[in-house]
Structure 1
């Protein structure tokens, strides 16, 4: 049996075993070592040590636990409740105001956490029952909660973009800049859809009672000043420091983690128990991410050394595709993989298969990463995996069926596909901001760098490319 054939058998076996429900990280490691031993002999054990050390020594991944800790602290600081109430009062006069306030809260909270499960669960406990009590159609309320909670995959500081940057050897700073406008734009499209639907079909999203739509301006401003503004300032400081080159993502994440603790202290909601829970959850989530990364790194390295990448590359070249057709093919495959698999498996296992082909088709890896992040919104919203739907079902009232949640998510999947089409037609939506900040002579990103020399915004350390 030739090595490339062994590599393709390994890839097919992985998909089969994952569908059986085995743990992903250890499955990746075991299959990488097993097939690597068949094809490479005892050298695969040297590979295990080398790749594990490479992952643990990668400075880019330092930001992962810091951003996760920042999110868990903010989650436990009872900020979300204040923020939702304030945005609800501010949008009270709009059709579908509760849904719009939910999406706005999700977008801002996703920027602060990047943890999809936490945002969907919290909004499922807070906003979803409020929409049901107001007479909203359960499918619309479910779709709004799930779609809004998934924005953390795309909107910086996205953990997914950090992992993609480390996998592809691309600057996380540029990825954040490229994803900012598409992320905000997707949130705006969600709100526009709700506004139009609530206007055309008011029965699906009834207006609030008059007494709840006539809150005094002073009360609204006070509510925003004590909820929206502090969180927005913290997020602005973190993202601004990254985008303008004042700090690396790791340094900005450390600043955000410290700021989240300070914010929790100011709200008088930080207790030793909550702090201990945040540290424990951060350690658990980080360990999961790192072991996934190690397993994926070993698996893809063995797959590449067995010649699997060359098989895929030759097969794609034989199709004689244009760059646009290749992008469409890659995204259709990723979209279909999102049905049975989670985004971590897709990013760490299947995206690296496409990376060597980007140079052949002259596709910007930054643009490709943003399109993948946009596409992965669907992996949380489409069955049978659809983790956002399961998160919501876990906290929803018993009478809300899982099928209703799935149906409510479908229109938002359509909006994601429309947003991807817009990004294909107008790639400048993603490429303009990083180009303006870092490519123009005298631009903001060119003037500012980390003090004490040697590490600018374009010099993020990256993992070695897969061979």
Structure 2
């Protein structure tokens, strides 16, 4: 068996270990070091060290110590240390804990309930107004936090009971929350885009600029679906009565928007604007966002020591997970490529004589399937590096490919049987809300995601590349 096939076996063992539930980061490191020891093993060097010790007349203990030293004198350990240092030194990844902290502190600022109530009142004349308010709240909150589980859970506690009380259809109501809660991994400032940029070597600011219009396109398509469905089937979303929303004048509604919607929107726009227009690097803008989150929480009188401590703990835990994934993935990928696995896959794919469209479809189907058992972090860090070297052969821009992947990964949270959004929501839903109802409510949004990807493919210059080229040039 050649080294290339051993590398493929290494990849298959990884997939098996993931499906069995082993910790992904440490599985990557273990496989990288284990197979790397074989890849870099030099039996001659080990025995030469031992022979020199014997010739020098060393005692038995020294001879054994020398032999063991030669056994552990393997370049895989140097590689592992270097990869760990490279991840810690990566300036791009500095933004990850700062954006996470901003998200966690905003999540605990108690502004979501006020934001949802205000948007519900402001959109009361729109069909499906409560669903529209929930979708806009999810989009804004998900953009600020980027944490799907937090958004879906919080909106499930806040918006779902209100919609069910207003006699909204269960499938209609649950689908809106699940779909809206996933938008945070696509719309900047998205941590997924930072991780993809660090993995592929693309500029983060160009990724952010390229993802902005597709993110709003997908959110807009969701909004059109919600309003159209409520207009065609009014029984799914009964219109509110005056008793439901109260009597509010236009100045009162404007004041409510000023104190709930505007502060969070300004924070997000300030962070994005600083990045896109070159006033700050992503890490510096993330620091501004973290400070802004603290100020926002303090302004809403929600900044307590307990909440601050929880936010710091969750930030440290999630950041450590991302960084160890990078360390494990870099070690695994280096050994995989050294054994010839990357070249074997590349030769196989290029030998199929596929068109760029066929390759894109194949890659997106694989990522869609991987989204069932895996989190987006694992997909981006482990499997995207396998696709990146193939993109030049098919003349596919890695920025375009990355944004397609980010849109596609929306389906990872929406596709049964492993749709995590459904399980997040089910965990906080009333007992009569069945998991099958949530699954059925999400299915139309999966179709919308696919439609969004088709539109992006047909009009890439207008949707993906227009903003990066307009700001930074071609």
TM-score, normalised to structure 1, is 0.92
1 CA distance for matches of 2:24 and 2:431? 31
Determine the structure 1 residue equivalent to 2:467. Answer: 433
Determine the structure 1 residue equivalent to 2:327. Answer: 294
2 CA distance for matches of 1:26 and 1:293? 11
3-state DSSP of counterpart to 1:95: coil
1 CA distance for matches of 2:201 and 2:418? 29
Deviations 1:124-174 (A, max 9, x none): 111111111111111111111111000011000111100000000010100
1:337 aligns with 2:370: yes
Selected match of 1:54 from 81, 86, 91: 86
Q: By how many angstroms is 1:340 displaced?
A: 2.1
Q: How many aligned positions are there? A: 440
Determine the structure 2 residue equivalent to 1:154. Answer: 186
1 CA distance for matches of 2:429 and 2:37? 48
Q: By how many angstroms is 1:219 displaced?
A: 1.8
Determine the structure 2 residue equivalent to 1:122. Answer: 154
1:18 aligns with 2:18: yes
Q: By how many angstroms is 1:352 displaced?
A: 0.7
2 CA distance for matches of 1:307 and 1:162? 28
Selected match of 1:417 from 444, 450, 469: 450
Determine the structure 2 residue equivalent to 1:206. Answer: 238
- The 5 Å alignment of 1:66-465 reads 66-212=98-244, 215-428=248-461, 429-439=463-473
TM-score, normalised to structure 2, is 0.91
3-state DSSP of counterpart to 1:227: helix
Larger Rg: 2
3-state DSSP of counterpart to 1:395: coil
1 CA distance for matches of 2:305 and 2:184? 27
1 CA distance for matches of 2:437 and 2:373? 20
CA RMSD of aligned residues (A): 1.1
Q: Unpaired segments of 5 or more residues in structure 2?
A: 42-73
Determine the structure 2 residue equivalent to 1:33. Answer: 33
Deviates more, 1:122-131 or 1:210-219: 210-219
3-state DSSP of counterpart to 2:453: helix
Determine the structure 2 residue equivalent to 1:463. Answer: none
Deviates more, 1:326-335 or 1:170-179: 326-335
3-state DSSP of counterpart to 1:203: helix
Q: By how many angstroms is 1:262 displaced?
A: 0.8
3-state DSSP of counterpart to 1:136: coil
Q: By how many angstroms is 1:101 displaced?
A: 0.6
Deviations 1:151-206 (A, max 9, x none): 01100011110000000001010000000000011111001001111111111111
1 CA distance for matches of 2:328 and 2:257? 45
Deviations 1:342-388 (A, max 9, x none): 21111111111000011111111111110000000011111232111
